[in-house]
A = this chain, B = another copy of it.
């Protein structure tokens, strides 16, 4: 069967989704990726489900202009709030980050308590608990929003920073006291603080990085559909942002683990254009 060389479309509220892209590129190096970071409207994690759903739909419309074979919602808040409403309305398959992370957590949890840390909006949506209940109707889930983790990660503070350590302890100690077996990092920024988190939770608590699990789920989905690319060599990563390409480039390296080279700013006129050719200039 001939390979499918169309790109994978990926979007996030901003820069965090690059941790998912990092995992996608590790597992699927031959897949071309078009990433959209909605940096003009970031963050989504403090916004309503209605607003996040509207933003997510617009981001999908934008990505569809690149003729992707699949769209990955590399944002926990958008996966939690918008994916159920969006799936089925698009002509191609979608994959969010909540479902793969929830599945892995239930597998690792083996009936013991699972903790989830995420943004306010993701926790409020209860999406992780709902996803886990599909696999284990009796699953016990503790959830906690950690609103300082995103700005801490974006400020570039390492896990060894005393402020990072203090904030991680402050959020996680009440969780650790409830003795969970698994902790889901339910926001794509959190892998940057993984070391500090592991130090507080200790070696008995397994950390689930939804980025890793999502990359695995995408690989399974493409393989099952016979839609893997038959390219050889490393495929291209193109990034589009709705604001501040310079900041995206500067911060992006830490999230992607290598330099973010190809970043293009998309103006509101281009983003909302119904005329598809507007983006062809950039593609």
Interface, chain A (partner B; CB < 8 A): 39-42, 46-48, 51, 54, 147-148, 150-152, 154-155, 162-163, 166-167, 170, 242-244, 247, 268
Contact = CB atoms under 8 A, between A and B. Distances in A.
A170 B47 CA distance: 29
Contact of A247 (B40, B41, B46, B170): B46
B155 A151 contact: no
A41 B48 CA distance: 12
Copies per assembly: 2
Contacts of A41: 40-41
Contacts of A166: 162-163, 166
B46 A51 contact: no
A47 to B, nearest CB: 5
A42 B43 CA distance: 8
Nearest to A265: B48
B163 A154 contact: no
Nearest to A165: B166
B148 A151 contact: yes
**4 closest A-B pairs (Cβ-Cβ)?**
A51-B243, A48-B244, A47-B243, A40-B51
